[in-house]
Amino acid sequence: MSDLVLRKEIIAAANAMSQSCLSPGKSGNVSARNAAGHILITPTGVPYADLKPQDIVALDINGAQLAGSLLPSSEWHFHLAVYRARSDVGAVVHTHSLHATALACANREIPAFHYMVAVAGGGSIRCAPYATFGTEALAEYAVAALAGRKACLLANHGQIALGETPAKALAMAREVETLASQYVAALQIGAPVLLDDAEMRRVLEKFKTYGQPGKAAAP
């Protein structure tokens, strides 16, 4: 895929994230890894609707700016840390979606209250400890919370979702927000009944072969 196409996909995901209220205003950010192993990321403080392909900032894997006159997202540290730790990740989406952020502000993970929690790769969606935004400490906590997972919450902050492409990472962010909203609703009734580890392992195994060949799908 050419850089131009990838830049357009990043912008499309950022606009969809904003328009769907997954991240209000200028909050949140989107990145992707190109064929050369460099990271393309949304710039800081620019309304997504105003973004043009040339506005997307290119960084090497260590954070040196390669292209673009604008500054990268203030969260570039954890984006790059994820790519360094995870060769399977092609794109990262970070949002401040309502219910995921509410749980994060309570420092609560999303446990196995529903089998679809397994869509993020494990028996829970972890919540990383709090650290100031844009810091290496936050990057370190995020990478740990994402180990073996496709998403995590960030305490007092929001959520991170991973995927092969910007569109797939955005789809994962939507899944996390849906699960967060369901969990918050369940908590209002009482303590949800959680599925045990054995059942979540069965679900994870079934997810490996669910759907049409070559297409990601969820029951």
The predicted-structure confidence for 26-52, as pLDDT tens digits, reads as follows 889 999 999 999 999 999 999 999 999
In a domain, 215, yes or no: no
Q: Where does 42-165 have alpha helices with state H?
A: 76-85, 98-105, 136-145
**Under a CB-based contact definition with an 8 Å cutoff, are residues 149 and 176 in contact?**
no
Which residue has better confidence, 20 or 212? 20
Q: Tell me whether residue 205 is one of the annotated catalytic residues.
A: no
| pLDDT for position 68 | 82
Q: Is residue 176 part of a domain?
A: yes
Contact 165, 106 (CB under 8 A): no
pLDDT digits (tens, 9 = 90+) for 170-186: 999 999 999 999 999 99
Radius of gyration of the chain (CA): 17
pLDDT band at 25 (very low <50, low <70, confident <90, very high): confident
- Cβ(42)–Cβ(70) below 8 Å: no
Average pLDDT over the chain, rounded to an integer: 94
- Give the Cα separation of 174 and 180 in Å (integer): 10
- Residue ranges making up the domain that contains 68: 3-207
Q: For the chain, how many structural domains are there in total?
A: 1
Q: Is residue 29 part of a domain?
A: yes
* 3-state class (DSSP) for residue 152: strand
User: What is residue 101's predicted lDDT score, i.e. its pLDDT?
Assistant: 98
The answer to whether residue 67 scores a pLDDT higher than 50 is yes
* 7-36: average pLDDT: 94
Catalytic residue among 9, 75, 175, 177: 75
> What pLDDT shows up at residue 213?
55
pLDDT of residue 10 exceeding 90:
yes
Q: Which residue has the higher pLDDT, 109 or 213?
A: 109
> What CATH number is associated with residue 47?
3.40.225.10
Q: How far apart are CA 184 and CA 173, in angstroms?
A: 16
Residue 216 lies in a domain: no
Of 202, 179, 195, the C-alpha closest to 102 is 179
Q: Is residue 134 part of a domain?
A: yes
Cβ contacts of residue 213 below 8 Å, gap of 6+?
none
| Identity of residue 3 | D
Res 207 pLDDT > 60? yes
The residue ranking higher by pLDDT, 123 or 218, is: 123
Residue 218 within a domain:
no
| Percentage above 70 pLDDT, the chain | 96
Whole-number pLDDT of residue 217: 47
Does 50 map to a domain? yes
Q: Is residue 26 part of a domain?
A: yes
Q: Is the dihedral of CA 149, 44, 157, 8 positive or negative?
A: negative
pLDDT per position as a tens digit, 154-167? 999 999 999 999 99
Q: Please tell me the distance from the alpha carbon of residue 138 to that of residue 183, in angstroms, as a whole number.
A: 25
